[in-house]
Structure 1
């Protein structure tokens, strides 16, 4: 049996950083008692191979350097598998002068107490971009695309920062992709666009732990706190517990997976304590939260500067009175 390659293979940009691959079965292909599937291989920008029984497929990828793929027919019968030749297509990179696209793109999200998600991105102008270049940022999440309206300008009065105070990013989703697209304009050059994909959890700036409580119980330090504002459950978080002994100068950072803690300490010392959080297990790690405000616990009477000064003054006065009494 001869296996014929698919026909009418096309690549279409269907959204920002999204490509629709579509083909049709070869009309000459014999199908009696055979199962037809298709082997798809993405060649660039990120290699990937998979098979499907459908005649279309959608892939998300950064397209500023183009996209290429190939597809072939798989004919299956019992344990027998036969393959056709490959059919290849490509999307050319969008036009633009070299080194005019942005560099050093960095983005961060934050979940508010009202469960909305903000987005903040920064970048540097391309080294080859003319001084009059203006950049414009768009983000896409699932089917929603939005252009930035809140820019901050850098050197040469060019946009180098963007903020979305509210987005359509769903805080309850896990490891979904956020597409960032930045294009530009200039009177003196065609500015090459740039795209980058971000995992929504990987760029989340985690909120700080809440309601931290620290107290002493005999020779033990006890600490409890609540997880950060997040739709994720308690088990999804890890913590770093910073403990500073003000008497000895000793510092410790302890890694914890629960939101309570007990530690034997030196009760004659005073301690400074801070906690920060990140998520793991349930999703990709994000950016560590800020440290909580410093909490002090314990006594350090031996090193209380005011007490020490008063003690020295009292001893000095007593010695002076004794000396005067002896002389007189």
Structure 2
């Protein structure tokens, strides 16, 4: 019956070897309609059913996830269905796999700036693929933004875009007093088995002399300082407490013998000398603890 076959069948290959295929339920399909996807991978004669279906809220199959997909030549897809109320139309499609690949971002983006010449050299490596071994197969779109300055309440001052066919770029508008970011994506240069659609953007790389220090950076310096100060405070407190509790307790005197003035003076001088020695030892111990 017309309108019961799936609609909007789309497949995308990403992250080198993963593939997702999705579709919509036919506009005239009944609620109990269920779909089943079969496909024949490149260089294989056997047709296999999807092993990992994507389902909607009603439990109907609306997609399939594949792993370890080899991007070679083309693949054949068949989606049929079943229903207790009516016959379901089949859907067939042949897809050239490299055309549906979403290229990964270019790798290892590196920036080296020279303040005197106001230039920055930018390098990168081609995106990861399973079937392309030639670096010249790619063209690149590079975007360089002059970053906003929150303190000066300024928005993005400029944006530079360029499309090049090599894996390096010379940026000649560098100012040492500003901050920049660069991101790059890749596509087919026109003569290889690569998707002509632009791939994923690389993670922005920031460069320039004005760097924003994050809260975590401050904590890296603050935490060790607080720890050292707290350790010193506790050490001095414990030392003072031990000094007070371990003070020399005078021995009980003989009630039948009163000390003479000479004995009292001698005992007093000995006590002063002993206390002075303890203070010197305390100071040395505190310094060692610090």
TM range (shorter): 0.5 to 0.7
In the alignment, does 2:4 pair up with 1:100?
A: yes
Question: Deviation per CA, 1:78-134, whole angstroms, max 9, x where unpaired?
Answer: xxxxxxxxxxxxxxxxxxx1100011111012354xxxx332101101000001111
In the alignment, does 2:85 pair up with 1:188?
A: yes
For 2:60, the equivalent position in structure 1 comes to: 158
- Stretches of structure 2 lacking an aligned partner (at least 5 in a row): 149-155, 215-290
Say which of 3, 27, 31 aligns to 1:131.
Answer: 31
| Structure with greater contact order relative to length (CA < 8 Å, sep ≥ 6) | 2
**Contact 1:135–1:159 (8 Å) recurs in 2:** yes
More helix by share: 2
**Contact 1:242–1:273 (8 Å) recurs in 2:** yes
CA separation in 2, counterparts of 1:111 and 1:157?
28
Q: State how 1:279-290 maps to structure 2 within 5 Å.
A: 279-280=188-189, 281-290=191-200
In the alignment, does 2:146 pair up with 1:245?
A: yes
What TM-score, normalized by structure 1, do the two folds share?
0.56
CA drift at 1:305:
11
CA separation in 2, counterparts of 1:111 and 1:193?
30
Question: Deviation per CA, 1:52-87, whole angstroms, max 9, x where unpaired?
Answer: xxxxxxxxxxxxxxxxxxxxxxxxxxxxxxxxxxxx
CA drift at 1:189:
1.1
What TM-score, normalized by structure 2, do the two folds share?
0.63
In the alignment, does 2:170 pair up with 1:262?
A: yes
Say which of 187, 190, 194 aligns to 1:278.
Answer: 187
For 2:128, the equivalent position in structure 1 comes to: 229
Distance verdict in 2 for CA 1:286–1:165, change over 3 Å:
farther
Query: When the two structures are aligned, how many residues end up with a matched partner?
Result: 199
CA separation in 2, counterparts of 1:152 and 1:291?
27
In the alignment, does 2:93 pair up with 1:201?
A: no
Root-mean-square deviation over aligned CA pairs:
2.1
Give 3-state SS (helix, strand or coil) of 1:202's partner: helix
For 1:69, the equivalent position in structure 2 comes to: none
Give 3-state SS (helix, strand or coil) of 1:235's partner: helix
Q: State how 1:1-328 maps to structure 2 within 5 Å.
A: 97-110=1-14, 112=16, 117-140=17-40, 141-142=42-43, 143-167=45-69, 169=70, 171=71, 173=72, 176-218=73-115, 219-230=118-129, 231-232=131-132, 233-247=134-148, 248-267=156-175, 268-280=177-189, 281-300=191-210
Give 3-state SS (helix, strand or coil) of 1:266's partner: coil
Question: Deviation per CA, 1:229-278, whole angstroms, max 9, x where unpaired?
Answer: 12311010111111111154322331111111111013132111111112
More strand by share: 1
- Stretches of structure 1 lacking an aligned partner (at least 5 in a row): 1-96, 307-328
CA separation in 2, counterparts of 1:181 and 1:258?
40
